[in-house]
Structure formats: structure tokens, C-alpha cells
Chains A and B, each alone.
Chain A
Amino acid sequence: MIRRTWIALVSFVLLGATVFAQAPQGSPEGFVPMSSLPPGEELPAARFVVASYAFFLLLMLFYLWTIWNRLAKVEKDMHELERRQGVSR
């Protein structure tokens, strides 16, 4: 019984040691503040800003073009139908 208790206690202490050994250093979430990074490891911000605004411009131009295209097609069909109705009368 005493032997088993000793084994349990030693196991508990050893397990506790591994938990402490694996405790993360610094931030608990594993994130490193951007300000603490060396300049060589920082991503340049300008390309992300340019990409974001360029994407907005392209997306909106594309969407406007699709609306314009669909509207032109519907109006062409309307004129065609009205023309055919006029001919048949």
C-alpha cells in the first residue's frame, strides 16, 4: 500500500513537472506582439493596403459591368419582343 502511494505521489510530481516544462513563455496564446519583431521578420504593410483597395475597385467595377450587361440584355429582348409583336399585328 505504501509502495503504491509512493508511486502515485512520484507520478503526480513528475506529471506536474512536465506541465510546468511545457508552459509557454511570454504570451499565453502564442502570439508575439508585432512591435517586438525584428524588422527583417515584419511583413511589409503597403502591399496589403494596396491589394485591399485594388480588390474593392475591381470587384465594384466587375459588379457594375454585370448589372449593365444583364440590363442591356433584358432591354434588347424587350425591344425584340415589341418589334415582333408590331410585325405580327
Chain B
Amino acid sequence: MRKLFVPVLALTALMFAYSPIAIANAPYESTMRLVQKIFYYHFPAWMALTVSVTVCTVASALYLFKGSARADRIAAAAAEVTVIFGLFGLVSGSLWGRKAWGVWWQWDARLTMAFLLELIFFGYILVRNYGGPGAEKLAAAMGIFGGATAPFVYKSVDWWRTVHPKTSVMTTLGQTSPEMWYVVWFCTFTILLFMGLLLAARVRLEEQRAALDQLYLAAED
């Protein structure tokens, strides 16, 4: 894993450097024009969030039901990465909405559920940091609960009447505008790689913290 870190970092840096060129060269969307360019990082950020939520949920379940300490460290790292990408997704969506809908925020199903998902994972971090002894198990339960919420966030635009575009946008984009579709997936792949690097760095921090705790325990003995 550590051997892969530097090559993946170099590849991600190259892809990030190329992404503004790809975004600038992508065709304009006919109704929203320039502001639609926010989509090229907005959608990938939510994809990265989906992956990190999945990692956190699976790792939380492994910790809760199997007692795996490594899984707990991965869950803690993934929850933090989830909050970071969620924050960007909400802010970029708000900026887009201000231009496209005329408002910074709308309490509709998709936006409200995405905000709640962000709050659940923010709560996870608070519980872990300030919950005292046994907080890891409480946080793991919150991680599973957050994971169960994620599908509702994704399908909310199809199930309820919202101002947000439906999930079918991405399925039809390949036929309606292949140039835009390629750029969206290029940016998605770039941000997923970056998310993987952030997760690896954050897991390393948790592992070093666990090693430090072991050293303190050994010093006391």
C-alpha cells in the first residue's frame, strides 16, 4: 500500500493539473451556461463522499460486530473524509443554486437529506473526540446509521419533488453530450484517487496514534 502512495500521488497531481483544461474545453450546457461548470467537481465530490460513507459503514460494522481495531481506525478516517467532501458538496451546490435557482439554500428533500447526512458524520467525529470511554462503539453505531441514510439522499430526487436535478441526468449525459460525460468521469476518477490518498494519510495518522498509546502503556508497565 505504501509503495503505491507516491505513484498514485504523482498520477493524481497530473490529473488535477489537467482538470481545469478539460473543464474549460468542455461544451457549455445550453440553459445554465457557465455556472454549470461547477458540476465537474460538485458531482465527483458527492461520489467521493459515497465511497467514504461506504468505507466508514463497513468498517464500523466490522468494529462493532467483530471488534477489529484496525477497522475502527479506518472508520474514523473515513468519517472525517466524508465530512470534508460533504462540506464541499454543500457549499458548491449552494453557490450553483444561488445562480441557477436564485437562492443560496432550499429546504427541499435532496438538500435537507444531504445536510442531515453531513450532520450525522459531524456528530460521529464529535462523539469520538468528546464521548469519553466507549465512544468508539457509539460512533460506530452512528457510522452504520449514516450509511443507512446515504441511499435515501441519492434516491430523494427520484422519490420526492425537489428543485435538484434527478439521478437520470448522469445516465442520459453519455448520449446527450459525450464530451461533457468524459470530462465528468475524468474529474470523478481524479477526485476518487485524491480521496483514496486522503484516506490513506488519515488512516496512517490513526495508526500512529494507536502506536503512541501502546508506547505509553508499555512505559507505564
Q: Mark B13-57, 1 if CB is under 8 A from A, else 0.
A: 000000010000000000111110110011001000000000000
Cβ of B8 under 8 Å from chain A: no
CA distance A43 to B32 in the complex (A): 12
Cβ of A12 under 8 Å from chain B: no
Asked if residues A63 and B84 are in contact (CB atoms below 8 Å), the reply is yes
CA distance A55 to B212 in the complex (A): 34
For chain A, the bracket of interface size reads 20 to 34
Asked if residues A55 and B35 are in contact (CB atoms below 8 Å), the reply is no
Of B67-75, B134-142, B149-157, B199-207, which binds chain A? Answer: B199-207
Cβ of A26 to closest chain B Cβ, rounded Å:
15
Asked if residues A49 and B101 are in contact (CB atoms below 8 Å), the reply is no
Question: Which of A59, A63, A67, A82 is packed against the most chain B CB atoms within 10 Å?
Answer: A63
CA distance A77 to B95 in the complex (A): 42
Cβ of A46 under 8 Å from chain B: yes
Cβ of B197 to closest chain A Cβ, rounded Å:
9
Asked if residues B41 and A78 are in contact (CB atoms below 8 Å), the reply is no
Asked if residues B91 and A52 are in contact (CB atoms below 8 Å), the reply is yes
Cβ of B10 under 8 Å from chain A: no
Cβ of A17 under 8 Å from chain B: no
**Residues of chain B contacted by A6 (CB below 8 angstroms):** none
B33 nearest in chain A by CB position: A45
Asked if residues A81 and B216 are in contact (CB atoms below 8 Å), the reply is yes
Q: Could you name 10 residue pairs across A and B whose Cβ atoms are closer than 8 Å?
A: A31-B102, A34-B100, A45-B35, A48-B95, A52-B95, A55-B88, A63-B84, A64-B198, A81-B215, A85-B215
* A binding-site residues for B, Cβ under 8 Å: 31, 34-35, 43, 45-46, 48-49, 51-53, 55-56, 59-60, 63-64, 67, 70-71, 74-75, 77-78, 81-82, 84-85
* B binding-site residues for A, Cβ under 8 Å: 20, 31-35, 37-38, 41-42, 45, 84, 87-88, 91-92, 95-96, 98-102, 194, 198, 201-202, 204-205, 208-209, 211-212, 215-216, 219
